[in-house]
Chain A
Amino acid sequence: GQNIDQPTEMTATEGAIVQINCTYQTSGFNGLFWYQQHAGEAPTFLSYNVLDGLEEKGRFSSFLSRSKGYSYLLLKELQMKDSASYLCAPSPGSGNTGKLIFGQGTTLQVKP
């Protein structure tokens, strides 16, 4: 089966660092995406990992361990606008498709 597990909610303070964890089980694996989604809006692409290790992109970094089925998204220097849902989405890579399997998402609230 396919399963993605993320914390439902997190709260952090402006200027701080927060780590959002994701564990996954999929029938195949072709990489893992992180998306940001503000309420009622479209998901926007943040990062993609296919190899083990850390990918850094400005204030956002993403880590992957394929053997552990584990990823995290690290947000530094938090800003109020970072209040949003963060979606972990592995691509099972099964068959001839790049379909994504999304977790429920982690709602992050950034407080002043």
Chain B
Amino acid sequence: DSGVTQTPKHLITATGQRVTLRCSPRSGDLSVYWYQQSLDQGLQFLIHYYNGEERAKGNILERFSAQQFPDLHSELNLSSLELGDSALYFCASSSPSGLGTDTQYFGPGTRLTVL
């Protein structure tokens, strides 16, 4: 158990819908990263938040947005869902600086299925 929690574990929804994925980092970690893993691609970096502020964006679609709240939990919002958005979404946390020398610890992931 990494100490990072993600809810829900599984999510099944229809095209065009909107969902919210939630992540709670390890106690004391200030950084939250979101990654997407689909069958035909490796882990793709989406976005990084540090202590409530956006630090970096990867190949995140405009239909996707994220935020990190004052209690440091983070939410990833996916809207106008398409079949191709079906994937495993992982959250990872790290501390203290949020820079490249910090080890990231991954949550168990949310498996999103869009029908």
> Which A residues contact B (CB, under 8 angstroms)?
30-31, 33, 35, 40-45, 48, 50, 87, 89, 91-93, 95-105
Nearest neighbor of A4 in chain B, beta-carbon distance? B42
Q: Which of B12-20, B63-71, B97-105 contacts A (4 or more CB under 8 A)?
A: B97-105
CA distance A93 to B102 in the complex (A): 11
Known contacts A93-B99, A99-B48; is-contact A42 B55 (Cβ 8 Å): no
Instruction: List, in ascending order, chain B residues with CB within 8 A of A96's CB.
Output: 50, 55-56, 98-99
A interface secondary structure, majority: loop
> Which B residues contact A (CB, under 8 angstroms)?
2, 31, 33, 35, 41-45, 48, 50, 55-56, 58, 88, 90, 94, 97-109, 111
Nearest neighbor of B58 in chain A, beta-carbon distance? A99
B5 vs chain A, min Cβ distance (A): 11
A36 vs chain B, min Cβ distance (A): 11
Nearest neighbor of B46 in chain A, beta-carbon distance? A99
Q: Do the beta carbons of A98 and B58 come within 8 Å of each other?
A: no
